[in-house]
Amino acid sequence: MSLVAVFLALVSQVDGVRVAYIAFFPVLFLWFLDAKNEFQKVQLLRLYERVRTTPPDRIDFDIRTSELKIPSDSV
């Protein structure tokens, strides 16, 4: 948010709209990173739930989350 505020303050001093567009690239990039982080957190919680309900003698200690199913209601 502070980056956007700085770039928008520059727009008020500089004649040009291109600086305003530059302000939104870091926001979109950080938004993407946040979404990826939230997705991985949900995957790890699913993995934890699977390991928690598995009997101790059947736990394989595999931490790959690629085999977990993604529910259809997720974005």
Instruction: Write out the DSSP string of the chain.
Output: -HHHHHHHHHHHHSS-SHHHHHHHHHHHHHHHHHHHHHHHHHHHHHHHHHHHHS-GGG-------TTSPPPTT--
The reported pLDDT for the residue numbered 16 is 60
Domain borders along the chain are 2-58
pLDDT tens-digit series, residues 14-48: 666 666 677 677 778 888 999 999 988 988 888 88
